[in-house]
Every structure is written in structure tokens, then in C-alpha cells.
Structure 1
Amino acid sequence: MVLTQSMQTALKILQCSQLELEHEVSTFLEENIMIEQDVNHEGDLDLSSYELETGSLKNDQNSDSIIENDNSSLDLDQETPFEVIEDWSAHEDSGSFDHLSFKSNGDEMDDFDTNTYEISLEEHLLNQLMLLKLSQKDFVIGAFLIDSLDDNGYFTQPASRMVDALSEQYPNIEIDEDEIMMVLRHIQQFDPPGIGATSLEESLIQQIKQLDPKPYWQEEAIDLLKYHSKWLLQHDLKRIERNYHFLEEEVIEMLEGFKCLNPYPAINYRNHKVEAVKPDIIVLQKGETLTVTLNEDILPKLRINRKYAKLAQRAKIEGRDLMRSQLTEARFFLKSIEDRFDTLLKVATAIVDAQQAFFLNGKKAMKGLRLQDIAEAVSLNESTISRAVAGKYMICSQGTLPLNFFFTNQVSSGEEDASGVAIRAVLQEIIAAEDKKKPFSDQKLQEILETKGHELSRRTVAKYRETLGIPSSTQRKRLV
């Protein structure tokens, strides 16, 4: 099958993520004079008329706002109901979500902790560096080391590499590894505690040294982290008791003290703004009724430039063929964008229809779903479904999720529609409720899952546990 240029454009637009679509629109606006942004148009497409209950897509929009097909005459006054939103923050300020009350399992969603410092970690550390009486060379080294810390606040680069990097940037300054480590030790005394450490153990040791008042187990804890950290990883509390002549209660108290330490010293600082994901689809829930709509705030609003379109229709004008070609391309481009959002809405509605139990009851109710199932439901090719869901997001009562999330293979288990997501959710729930002093082995987890209708092998259970980031029963064991 040979794809025409218009078909290639349509497939490309369909597969674009939201950011990629914005880039495509921006590029097309620069290259084609026939398209312009309609920033003043209020829009006349009522997207809220799409309903899930009827199982169909109902569109009450004015027929004048629809892009004409290739065989119809061009209406120079027609406008497409798409609007490019450059600032996502306007979505929050507009209050367009004020009427929504997203809930999960009957409970209101917790507010996200957005506690951040007014200055970056780098600025905070540089301010402390300037308070030290350092030579100009040592200050340069310190600033370079601060800039080299990773996102967790650790210094993970070899000193030799720092020497090479500094020597390349400052060829007139002689620097050796001892100077690097000397300045680093100064930085490791800065706030926040544990900053600049070369490992997790070293960071925790620095924090323990700065505890005030000094705990009675300070020396033992430092020795434990320096030489026997694997005992902590293995939760070998009996060996810790014997080695440091501690009672069981004292070991427990020391481990409780560890909980006050921060394994990620830089976690409360934000060095850069994190871009929020822009959901393409909104799923509203009222009781057990789900309504699927497009997110109007991401719809690009474009139209044909009437002035240039009229020029393209004149018989005697230089470059008329080029302008007509651009006019045709512009019409194809607008049609591709409209088709993109129509297809996306159809696919999203079919997904919600197939996974209603998930939206109402959470991950435990997730069903196995294939691209082929949705393709058959909307009468489209499976490859079209794959393109439609790539890089697209949906916001619902369960959070903001990629559309690919809803496609999960059916697992061979006692339940006909069981999915890996659902089984992992059940597994996580079982482990969360276990006795921490006697955690379940993988064999026991397999037996419990079997009683709940999920017949899996022990190896599969272990694989799911590892996928969830849950350690083995030996590592999960606690005395507290």
C-alpha cells in the first residue's frame, strides 16, 4: 500500500504526543501562510456532549464549524475549534477544574506536598561556601563540586575526574586530588546534613554525627554503617546484638533513630521546574456514571487565512499554484488534527467502557485488555489504536495515567479477566497487611493468591514482588 502525503501527515499527527503536536503546529504556522491562529474566537464546539452512558459519541456542535472534506468547496469563513494553549498554568488559574471532585475509593485525594525552598540547593550551598575563609582556588573548587552533586545531593564523581575537568576549565591553576577532597570535606559539613556524601552510608554517618543531643548508640551506629551495613540490608538484628553487646530493645531504639535520618539530603530542594503532564482526556465520575471528554485546554485553535485563500483563487497572480498547493496542505493539516482528536476520543471512550471496574474500584479490578479488543470496539486498525494511545494521558479519579497503562495482558489464573496490574495490586495489599515480624514467603504468597482466585507459580509471584520493588521476606522482617 502506497501512502499519499496527506495520509502520512494524518498518521504522524495521530501519533504525536501533546508536546510534539504543539511543535508540529508551530512549524506548520511558520512554513504555511494559509493557516493562522484564531486567538480571539470563542469556539463553538461543545465537547461536554460526549457521553459514555449511551456507548456512542454525541456531538451537538454547529455544522458550520466542521472542517469540510476534500470533495467540498472551501468555506473561507470556516474556523476549526482548536486552540493552542502555551501556558498550562492558565488551566489552574482559570478554575476550570473547580467543579470536579476526584475521589479514590470514596476518600478525597490527599493534597500533594509541594513544600520547597525559595532558593535552589546550589544557591544555598554557595552561600555557605562564601562564609568560609577559602582561597580563590579553593572557592573555585568548591563551586565546581557543588555543581557536580547529583539530584539526591551525593558526590559520585571520582576525584581524578574532577581534577581533569577543573584543569581543562582552568588551565592556569594547578589542582590535585587532595585539594578536591579537602574542599569536599568542608561541603559535607554544610546544611542540609548529609550533603556531599559519596555514598548512602557516608551520608547517614554525617547526619548521625550532627545529631543533638548525641544518642548513646552514636558510635555503634557509625561503626555499623562503616563496616557492617550489609547486616542492615539483611535485617540481621541478632548479629548486631551480639557484635555490639546490645539488648534487643537497644537495637530497636537505634533503628528507630535511623528513621529520623534523610537518605536523600537534596530531596526538599527543587533546582528546576518540573513540567506537569497535560492530560488529553478527562474522565468525570458521578456515582457509577463515567463521562469521557477531551481536555479543551489542549485543543489548538487554527483557521484558514481568508486573505491569502482569496488570493489563491484569483486566476492571474504570480505564484498562484504555490499558494493553492499551500491551501490544499493547510486543509489536509486541519483535517488531520480534527481526525486525531476524534480518534483519540473514540479510543479513550472504548477504554473507559472496557475498564469501568478499574475506575470505580481501583487497580484490583483491572481487566486484561489488548489493542485488538479496542480496535474491534471502534472498528479501526490495531496499528491505529497503537498510534492513538502513544504519549497520551488521561486524568481520572485514580490519578493521571498514560493510555498505554490500560493495556495489560491477561494472566493465566483462576479469574477469566485477571490482569497483571490487578494481581500486583492484590499482592501489594497482602504484603502491606502481613505481620512484619513474620512476613510471608513467596510460597505463602502464592497460596494466599490462589485462595483469592489467582493461580500463579511461585516464580511469577516473586517476579511481581520484585516489579513492585518489594524485598524478600528476609529483608522485610522487622522486630518493630
Structure 2
Amino acid sequence: MGLEQRTDLRLTQKLALTPQLQLQLKLLQLPQLELSQYIQLELMENPILELDEETENIQENEVSSEEYEEPVAVDKLEKIMIDEYFAERADDGRDLGYFNPGVEEKPSFELFYSTTTDLWEHLLWQLRLSKAPDKIRAVAEVVIGNIDEDGYLKATEEEIAKMSDTDNETVKQAIALVQEFDPAGVAARDIKECLILQIKALGLGDTLVQSFIEEHLEDIKKKKYENIAKRFGISIDEVIKSVKIIEKLEPRPGRNFSKTQVNIPVPDVYVTKVEGEYQIILNDEGIPKLRLSKIYRELFTEKNLPVQEKKYLREKFKNAVELLRSIEQRNKTIYRVTESLVKFQKEFFDKGVSYVKPLNLKDIAQDLGLHESTISRVTSNKYLACEHGLFNFRFFFSNALSSNHGGISTTLVKDLIQKIINEENHTNPLSDKEISDMLKKQGIDIARRTVAKYREELKIPPKPLRKLKNY
């Protein structure tokens, strides 16, 4: 058969994120303290950026529907005026309400700084080095965005599939990819899966150790080694050898990747009631105020500037503008998501925790016309402060359980379980079955297994350990 040349036209889809979009997604994910650290690094690396020490607090504006201006073209950067750029801050008419409580001295930034790598950044770094297909890598990023500070995956496969507009099989492959990353045990759905992932990483998969974890984790917790020895026909000494291996595993694989030493989370958003209406204030305390350097802008317009230096300044100028715009876009998106959240959970803000309603990411996404993955990034590792306390954004999202009063939020059920255990007799704690029966008397039909699941998510030990530790 002879060789021939011919032209074929093929239609293919490929995921491509522009540097600007990548930056926006990155900043959207960062909570307040990490954003401050990121900006500090950019200030050191980019001479076009400088601290704006003269910026006054943003004043309250009336709400309007005007949109931000289109991004500035690179070839027009030299024409940008700094005052005009910062005038865009109020373009959409919203009060982005940067919080600055006064002129009192603020804690030094160094108090919050740590050289420990952030878990999310550590996982993304490994993802960038991965040779997995683009489709899997894109979903894996969503998976990483739904991992909590302890290293556990908090979204279901179905939720991730919806966020990523993909199928469950792709989600499974993406989760499996992330579970191969360091630290061992990351992206597990529960403690059992977390320990099994670590056992496999040690080369002890399909051994007695894995079988003990899969079938007798409760017996290990209660030190009922006789049950395990009898089940596998081995001596108690052999059981203890395997248990010692299990005891050395890390139940919270993300523990060593915490960036801050602060025990109390810093609110990213404040929601306060003023004259019957809720006001949303973004906490900008500790975030460096930036502006474009006038000195370097004037230098950039010099006609006799060498080509290489002008090219360098052009690139830095572009990066500076993109950073400023990305910060503003991040704040606008967080504001809009909070605004929608207040609308859906108004009864909670009016009356308290007992009135939190079932809500999912899709509800907010549809309300704002945004993608679920965007809502996921906004609500990840961020906190909201209101008159009822300080809450993780994910507190407001939960599925519905049936009750005599209609659909009830799983968040509320967990809160009820927490209250029941707080009020129990510590010398004779309640079993999961007894808690289930108590909830049924309140009209909430919930199985013992579900109580155990929610108790573990609340990091509350089982009955025997609560009695032992006088929990």
C-alpha cells in the first residue's frame, strides 16, 4: 500500500485555563490570612506594586447592577492612570465593605506567618507534576478544593460530578489520583479509608493489618483483642503487633500542613443587621492595600528605555494589573455568594442555629448564574461571623432528612447530636442507638448507623471512650 498525504479536519475539546483565570481561581480559594501572605510575596517580587498607605476606608454605596469594565489590553498598559484604576472598585455599586475597625495597632503579620506548606498548595503542586490526562487533572483540582484541613474529602462523588460536569467514573479516577499523593491517607472519605490508604502506602495492603482495619476497627478502639484473635485464629500477641502498626498511623493526614498557629479562625465576612436589613462586610483587616507604582509607570513610558528593560516592565505591569483585578473579582464573588446565602438562610440569621435549612452548592450556583465549582472554591476554608457566632461557610450547606416537620437540615441534626452528648451523664454516656431513639421522639427518623456517622464527623468518640475520658 502506497504512502499518501491528506488533510483531515477533526473537532476536539481541550481544557485550557488562561494565566488570568488560573490566578482568579487560585485567589478565590484562599482564605484571608493566606491571601495576605500571597500579596506580601507579590509585593516583594513585582516592583510595579507598592503599598497604598493613603487609601481611605471604602464608603457605603447603593446597590446597582453595573458590571466591572473589560480587562485592560496589554498594549495600552502605559496609558493606565492609577486613580482611574482604583475608581473601578465601586463600579458595580456594591458596598464591598472592607472591614477596618479603627486606627488601633494591628498584630504583626509575622505572628501569622509560617513556613509550613499549605496542604492545598502541596496537593496542587503534585497535581501539576502528574502525567494524568487533562480531563482527570481538571476534576482532581475540584477534589482538592473539597478537602478539609484534616485531609478528608468532604464532597460526595455525585456532588463532584455535578461541580465538574463529568461522569462518576471520571470522578473515581480523579479521587484515586489524589489519594496517591503525599501525605498518605489524604482525600479519604472516613477514618477507615484513611488508614487503609496509609497501610497500602507502607506495602501492607491485603495483610492482616488491613483486615483488622476493615472489619475490627471498633474492637481495636475498645481494645477487644480477644474478638480479633478468635476471628482470625491467631494469638493475642500477633493481634497486638498489628495494632501497634495501626496506632502509628495518622488519623488526620493534613495535620502537619496547617499554615497558621492561630486556634481561632479569622472571619472572611461579617454579616450584621442594620435597621432591619443585613449588611455584608468583607474583612480586609491585615490585607495589604496595593497600588501601581507611579515611578515605574513613568519609567515605562521613557522613549530611550532599552528594549529588554521595557519588555520586563511590560510583563510586570501586566502581572500587577491582573493581580489587582483578580483580587477585586475575588471580593465581588465572595460578596455575591454571601448575599445569596443570607437570602436562602434568612431564618438562621433572624432566629439562630435551629433554623438552618437544607441547602446545596447548586442552589447558590443557579441563583447567581455561576458554576458549582466556583461556589465550592468560595466556600472552602472560609468563615462567616454574625450575631450567632463564627461559622465555616460549609456549615450552611447540608442535605435534607425527613422529619415530622418536613425536610430538616443534616447540619441541624448534627447540632442536636452535639447538644444531646453535651448534656448526657458523663459517667454513663449514651449509645448511638439511644441517641437515635431520642431523636425519633423529636420527630427525626434517623438510623443508629447515621448517628454514628455524624458523631464521627463531629469528632466525638464512641460511648466507651467518652466514659473512659469523661468526655
Relative to the length of structure 2, the TM-score reads 0.52
8 Å contact kept, 1:49–1:59:
no
For 1:27, the equivalent position in structure 2 comes to 41
Residue identity in the other structure for 1:331: V
In structure 2, C-alpha distance between the alignment counterparts of 1:19 and 1:438, rounded to whole Å: 43
Closer/same/farther in 2, CA of residues 293 and 315 from structure 1, 3 Å limit: same
Post-superposition offset of 1:352: 2.1
8 Å contact kept, 2:35–2:287:
no
Post-superposition offset of 1:414: 4.7
Post-superposition offset of 1:19: 2.4
Residue identity in the other structure for 1:13: L
For 1:352, the equivalent position in structure 2 comes to 342
For 2:190, the equivalent position in structure 1 comes to none
Post-superposition offset of 1:408: 2.1
In structure 2, C-alpha distance between the alignment counterparts of 1:320 and 1:425, rounded to whole Å: 60
For 1:343, the equivalent position in structure 2 comes to 333
Gaps of 5+ in 1: 51-56, 83-89, 97-232, 234-271
In structure 1, C-alpha distance between the alignment counterparts of 2:419 and 2:265, rounded to whole Å: 28
Alignment of 1:199-218 (within 5 A): none
SS at match of 2:50: strand
In structure 1, C-alpha distance between the alignment counterparts of 2:275 and 2:40, rounded to whole Å: 41
For 1:386, the equivalent position in structure 2 comes to 376
SS at match of 1:36: strand
Q: 1:374 aligns with which of 360, 364, 371?
A: 364
Residue identity in the other structure for 1:321: K
SS at match of 1:377: helix
> Bigger CA drift: 329-338 or 445-454?
445-454
Matched, 1:75 2:94: no
Matched, 1:293 2:281: yes
8 Å contact kept, 1:80–1:301:
no
For 1:308, the equivalent position in structure 2 comes to 296
Matched, 1:399 2:389: yes
Q: 2:32 aligns with which of 18, 21, 44?
A: 18
Residue identity in the other structure for 1:37: L
In structure 1, C-alpha distance between the alignment counterparts of 2:38 and 2:465, rounded to whole Å: 53
User: Who wins on radius of gyration, i.e. which is larger?
Assistant: 1
In structure 2, C-alpha distance between the alignment counterparts of 1:22 and 1:376, rounded to whole Å: 30
In structure 2, C-alpha distance between the alignment counterparts of 1:437 and 1:314, rounded to whole Å: 80
For 1:101, the equivalent position in structure 2 comes to none
Closer/same/farther in 2, CA of residues 457 and 292 from structure 1, 3 Å limit: same
Residue identity in the other structure for 1:69: P
8 Å contact kept, 1:392–1:402:
yes
8 Å contact kept, 1:313–1:324:
no
SS at match of 1:7: helix
Q: Deviations over 1:268-310 (max 9, x none)?
A: xxxx984653211001135864322212424431111122112
Matched, 1:333 2:333: no
Closer/same/farther in 2, CA of residues 323 and 441 from structure 1, 3 Å limit: closer
Q: 2:56 aligns with which of 32, 35, 42?
A: 42
In structure 2, C-alpha distance between the alignment counterparts of 1:310 and 1:350, rounded to whole Å: 43
Closer/same/farther in 2, CA of residues 351 and 330 from structure 1, 3 Å limit: same
In structure 1, C-alpha distance between the alignment counterparts of 2:275 and 2:426, rounded to whole Å: 37
SS at match of 2:343: helix
8 Å contact kept, 1:312–1:324:
yes
SS at match of 2:319: helix
Post-superposition offset of 1:334: 0.6
Post-superposition offset of 1:26: 1.6
In structure 1, C-alpha distance between the alignment counterparts of 2:327 and 2:412, rounded to whole Å: 35
In structure 2, C-alpha distance between the alignment counterparts of 1:374 and 1:464, rounded to whole Å: 24
Closer/same/farther in 2, CA of residues 413 and 470 from structure 1, 3 Å limit: farther
8 Å contact kept, 2:429–2:466:
no
In structure 2, C-alpha distance between the alignment counterparts of 1:474 and 1:28, rounded to whole Å: 48
Post-superposition offset of 1:428: 4.0
In structure 1, C-alpha distance between the alignment counterparts of 2:262 and 2:465, rounded to whole Å: 37
Closer/same/farther in 2, CA of residues 92 and 424 from structure 1, 3 Å limit: farther
Q: Deviations over 1:192-231 (max 9, x none)?
A: xxxxxxxxxxxxxxxxxxxxxxxxxxxxxxxxxxxxxxxx
Closer/same/farther in 2, CA of residues 475 and 290 from structure 1, 3 Å limit: same
In structure 2, C-alpha distance between the alignment counterparts of 1:475 and 1:3, rounded to whole Å: 49
In structure 2, C-alpha distance between the alignment counterparts of 1:389 and 1:94, rounded to whole Å: 30
8 Å contact kept, 2:396–2:411:
no
Post-superposition offset of 1:6: 1.5
In structure 2, C-alpha distance between the alignment counterparts of 1:19 and 1:78, rounded to whole Å: 28
Matched, 1:363 2:365: no
The size of the alignment, in residue pairs, is 285
In structure 1, C-alpha distance between the alignment counterparts of 2:298 and 2:405, rounded to whole Å: 63
8 Å contact kept, 1:67–1:79:
no
SS at match of 2:390: strand
8 Å contact kept, 1:368–1:418:
yes
Relative to the length of structure 1, the TM-score reads 0.51
For 2:268, the equivalent position in structure 1 comes to 280
Post-superposition offset of 1:410: 2.5
In structure 2, C-alpha distance between the alignment counterparts of 1:11 and 1:476, rounded to whole Å: 46
Alignment of 1:81-230 (within 5 A): 94=104
In structure 2, C-alpha distance between the alignment counterparts of 1:466 and 1:6, rounded to whole Å: 40
Closer/same/farther in 2, CA of residues 404 and 474 from structure 1, 3 Å limit: closer
8 Å contact kept, 2:356–2:411:
yes
Gaps of 5+ in 2: 1-14, 90-99, 107-221, 223-259
Q: Aligned residues: percent identity? A: 31
In structure 1, C-alpha distance between the alignment counterparts of 2:371 and 2:72, rounded to whole Å: 23
SS at match of 1:404: helix
8 Å contact kept, 2:29–2:380:
yes
In structure 2, C-alpha distance between the alignment counterparts of 1:392 and 1:70, rounded to whole Å: 30
Q: Deviations over 1:73-131 (max 9, x none)?
A: 5224345489xxxxxxx9587499xxxxxxxxxxxxxxxxxxxxxxxxxxxxxxxxxxx
